Amino acid sequence: MVRRLAVLCLAWVSLALPGQAQERSFISGDDTLHYVYTPLPVDSTAAAGDARQRRDPFFRRLVKYFEGSNVDRTFEKKIDFTFAGGPSYSKTTSLGIGLLAAGLYRLDRTDSVTAPSDVSLFANVSISGVYAVGVTGNTIFSQDRRRLNYTVMFSSTPRDMWGVGYNAGRYNKPVSYTEKHYLVEANYLYRILPKTYVGTVLSFEHTAGKGFSDLTYLQGEKTHYTATGLGVIVEYDSRDFIPNPFRGIYLSFQERIFPKGLGNCGKTLWRTMFKANAYQRVWKDCILAADLYAVFNSEGTPWPMLARLGDNQRMRGYYQGRYADNSMITMQVELRQRVWRRIGCTVWGGAGNVFSSLDRFDWSHTLPNYGLGLRWELKKRVNVRLDYGFGKDTSGFLLSANEAF
C-alpha cells in the first residue's frame, strides 16, 4: 500500500512539471503506472504584458542613458560613444536640428597616463536651408609620441556677403548667395622633446558660390575655387585634455603653401597661422582660459579663403564673414565654472580685427566681443554648450559641442 501511495505522489509531481508532451512509466515491484501529461501553454499575451510592466518608461531609460554617459569607460570599451540630438542655432545657420555622436577611446588601454583620443560625428539641417555633415577628431598614439588630427566635412549654407575689409562689413549692404564647401584636412605630429611636436599638414578644400544676387563684391573673381595645401607645424602642448583643458599651455605655429598647380586660384598662395592658449585653475571647479589667434594670407587670396571673423570658436555672436580680409587677429579670455554636477556656466570677453596687411592694421577697426554661456557635460569632460555673444551692433545664440578653445 505504501509503495502504491509513493508511486501516485511521484506521478502527481511529474504532472505539475513543465515539459514536452510525453509518456512515462513508473514500476515498483508488481505495480506499474502509465501516464501521459501535456503542459499548459504559456499565455504569451500575459507574459508580454508583464515584460512591458517591468520595462522602464522611455523617458526614464533616456535619463539612465545620459546619467552614465560621463563615466570614463575607455579602459573597458574599444570606443565609448554617446549619441545626442536636439535643436541647433547660430547667427549664420539660424534654427535647425542637429545630431551628434561623441566618442572617446584609447589605442593603448594599458596606458593610464596619456589622455584619451576623441572623435565627433555631426549632422545638421536648418530652416534656412543649411545642411552639413562631418567628422573631426584627435588621435593620440601610445605614450603621446605621435598625434593625428583630422577634419572631414561638407556644408551647404545660404550666406550673405558684404565685401572685403572692415569698412565693407560696417557700411555695405549684404548680397545673398549659397555656399557649398568641401574640406578635408589632417595633420600628423611627432614628439621631438617633452610636450613639443613637429609635423606636416595636408588639406583640400573646394568652395562654390551659387545664386549670387549681385556679383559686384566679387570684383571679377570666380564663383568657385579649389585649393590644396601643404605645410609644416610646430607645437608645444601641455594641456591635460584637448577638448576641455583644465590646465596647461598650447602654442601652435603653422606655415602652409597652396601651389598654383594643385588648384584653380591662378597663383601660389601662402598662409601663416599662430595660436596661443593657456588654462589655469583659479578656485574650486573654476578654470580661467585665454586664447590668442592670428592668420595671415598672402596678397591675392580669393574670397572663399579669406580670414572670416565670427564662428563658433572666436568672436561668437558675429555673423561669420561679415568682416573678412586677408588677415585677422582675435583674442579672448573666458571664465568657466562648474555649478552643479554636470552643469556649468561661462563668461568671456575679447576683441578682433581684420586687415589686408600688418602695415595697414588700424586699431580703430578693432571689434569688441563678450558673452555668457551654459554648459552640460555630455561625456567625461566633453561639453555641449549654449552661448550668447554680443558684438558691435550685433548679438546671437550659438549651440555647439566641445569648448570654444
Q: What pLDDT band is residue 391 in, cutting at 50, 70 and 90? A: very high
pLDDT tens per residue across span 64-118:
666 667 777 888 888 998 888 878 777 778 888 989 898 999 999 888 889 999 9
Q: Which domains does the chain have, with CATH numbers?
A: 1-55 (no CATH), 56-401 (2.40.160.50)
Q: The dihedral of CA 105, 108, 113, 117: what is its sign?
A: negative
pLDDT tens per residue across span 230-276:
999 999 999 999 999 999 999 999 999 999 999 999 999 999 999 99
In one letter, which amino acid is 298?
S
Instruction: Return all residues near 65 (Cβ < 8 A) that are at least 6 apart.
Output: none
In one letter, which amino acid is 47?
A
| Contact predicate 137/119, CB 8 Å | yes
In one letter, which amino acid is 333?
V
Q: Please give the Cα distance from 198 to 273 (Å, whole number).
A: 15
pTM: 0.81
Q: Please give the Cα distance from 352 to 332 (Å, whole number).
A: 9
Query: Which residues on adjacent β-strands are paired with residue 202?
Result: 186, 230
pLDDT at 16: 44
pLDDT at 11: 44
pLDDT tens per residue across span 284-333:
999 999 999 999 999 999 999 999 999 999 999 999 999 999 999 999 99
pLDDT tens per residue across span 332-376:
999 999 999 999 999 999 999 999 999 999 999 999 999 999 999
Answer whether residue 24 shows pLDDT above 80: no
pLDDT at 75: 86
pLDDT at 140: 96
| Contact predicate 251/236, CB 8 Å | yes
pLDDT at 59: 62
pLDDT at 86: 78
Count of beta carbons in the 10 Å neighbourhood of residue 334: 22
Between the alpha carbon of residue 80 and those of residues 76, 105, 117, 165, 178, the distances in Å are 9, 6, 11, 45, 37
pLDDT tens per residue across span 28-76:
455 554 444 455 555 555 555 555 556 777 667 766 666 667 777 888 8
Q: Please give the Cα distance from 98 to 373 (Å, whole number).
A: 19
pLDDT at 181: 98
